[in-house]
Amino acid sequence: MKAVQAAHCSVVIPTRNRPDPLRDCLLSVARQTRLPSEIILVDSSDDNATEELVGSLSAQFPASFVYQRSAARSTAVQRNRGAEASRGDIILFLDDDVVLEPNFIAEIMRVFEDDTKGEVGGVSGTVVGSGYGPPSRLNGLLLRALGGRTEGSYAGRLVGPAINFYPADGPDAIQPVEWLNGAAMAYRREAYLAERSWETFAGYSFMEDVHLSARVARRYRLLNTTRARLLHKCMGSTPQDWGALGESMVLNRHAVVMHVLLRRRPGDYLRLFAYELLYCTMAQVKNPARPWRANLQLLCGKLRGVAKLLRGESPHRAYFA
Element (H, E) at 42: strand 38-43
Q: Which of 129, 161, 126, 156 is nearest to 145 (CA)?
A: 161
The amino acid that residue 184 corresponds to is A
- At 59 the pLDDT is 80
Phi first, then psi, for residue 208 (nearest 5°) are -60, -35
Q: Are residues 173 and 70 in the same domain?
A: yes
- At 281 the pLDDT is 81
Domain edge (last residue) among 206, 232, 258: 232
Asked whether residue 161 is assigned to any structural domain, the reply reads no
- At 26 the pLDDT is 95
Tell me the residue range of the domain where 259 lies.
242-319
Asked whether residue 262 is assigned to any structural domain, the reply reads yes
The amino acid that residue 222 corresponds to is L
Domain edge (last residue) among 232, 266, 290: 232
Asked whether residue 101 is assigned to any structural domain, the reply reads yes
pLDDT digits (tens, 9 = 90+) for 230-245: 999 875 555 568 899 9
- At 71 the pLDDT is 95
Contact 127, 168 (CB under 8 A): no
β-sheet bridge partners, residue 164: 158
Q: Are residues 197 and 112 in the same domain?
A: yes
pLDDT digits (tens, 9 = 90+) for 153-178: 899 999 999 999 999 998 879 999 99
Q: How many domains does the chain have?
A: 2
* Mean pLDDT value across the chain: 91
pLDDT digits (tens, 9 = 90+) for 112-146: 999 999 999 999 999 999 988 888 887 888 888 88
Q: Are residues 67 and 86 in the same domain?
A: yes
pLDDT band at 321 (very low <50, low <70, confident <90, very high): low
Asked whether residue 111 is assigned to any structural domain, the reply reads yes
Rounded to whole angstroms, the Cα distance separating 195 from 213 reads 9
- At 63 the pLDDT is 79
Q: Does the pLDDT of residue 1 top 70, yes or no?
A: no
**Distance from chain centroid for Cα 77:** 13
Burial (0-12, 13-18, 19+ Cβ within 10 Å), 47 = exposed
Grouping H, G, I as helix, E, B as strand and the rest as coil, residue 315 is: coil
Asked whether residue 141 is assigned to any structural domain, the reply reads no
Asked whether residue 49 is assigned to any structural domain, the reply reads yes
CATH of the domain at 182: 3.90.550.10
Domain edge (last residue) among 232, 261, 281: 232
Q: Are residues 179 and 313 in the same domain?
A: no
Cβ contacts of 151 within 8 Å, gap of 6 or more: none
Q: What is the dihedral of CA 124, 130, 136, 138, to 10 degrees?
A: -70
Q: Are residues 49 and 113 in the same domain?
A: yes
